[in-house]
Amino acid sequence: MFNIPNFLTLIRLFLIPFYIYLFLIGNYIFSGILFIIATSTDLLDGYIARKYSMETEIGKLLDPIADKLTVISILSMLIYLDIIPRFIAIILLIRESTIFLSTSIAYILGKNFVNPSILGKMSIAFLYAGLAARLFEFNILSNYILYLALPLNIISGIAYFVNAIKNN
């Protein structure tokens, strides 16, 4: 079903190649602006869907895909250009890729999705903030935020898999 939250999710997916291109040509400011617009749709789509009872099955499928592709794409670029500490990027990339793949497999097998936890939402918010700060070249601030995001993402990733095992 087509609605505003699903449209916002599609915008997030649509913006990925554009902020990657801008990033690769060295236009970090405009890349950062598009990245912030993309991540803002993540906050808006879920809020609108829940508040106005607009949740759909396609939205439940597309939203986590858009989330993971958003993070994976920007982390890949940061690794490629060696812009953030490599160990942070690799750990976060492994977490995001693992959750993306496991969610995809669960969907194919007809298993239940694991709803994001408050910790998971917090960890992704810190990650988005740290990545955006890096795109705007606030490097010291970005490092602090990413060092906070790292353990939050690891813990929330472990909690995600514990919940998935319990619920399926």
Q: For the residues of the chain, what is the DSSP string, one character each?
A: ---HHHHHHHHHHHHHHHHHHHHHTT-HHHHHHHHHHHHHHHHHHHHHHHHTT---HHHHHHHHHHHHHHHHHHHHHHHHTT-S-HHHHHHHHHHHHHHHHHHHHHHHTTPPPPPPPHHHHHHHHHHHHHHHHHHTT-HHHHHHHHHHHHHHHHHHHHHHHHHHHHH-
pLDDT of residue 17: 96
Going by pLDDT thresholds of 50, 70 and 90, the confidence category of residue 57 is: confident
Structure tokens at 117: 């936890």
Say what the pLDDT of residue 1 is: 67
Identify the CATH number of the domain in which residue 109 sits.
1.20.120.1760
- 95's CB contacts (< 8 A; 6+ apart) are 153, 154, 157
The C-alpha atoms of residue 137 and residue 131 are separated, in whole angstroms, by 10
Is the model more confident about 11 or about 113? 11
Q: Is residue 121 scored above 90 in pLDDT? A: no
pTM: 0.85
Phi, psi of 41 (to 5 degrees): -65, -30
Largest CA distance in the chain: 45
Quote the pLDDT of residue 53.
92
Domain that holds residue 65: 4-167
Choose the weakest-confidence range: 7-16, 20-29, 84-93, 159-168: 159-168
122-134: average pLDDT: 91
Total domains in the fold of the chain: 1
Q: Decide which of 112 and 88 is more confident.
A: 88
Average of pLDDT values for 143-153?
94
| Residue 103 pLDDT exceeds 90 | no
Q: Which among 35, 36, 44 is positioned nearest to 8, based on CA atoms?
A: 44
**pLDDT confidence of 74, banded at 50, 70, 90?**
confident
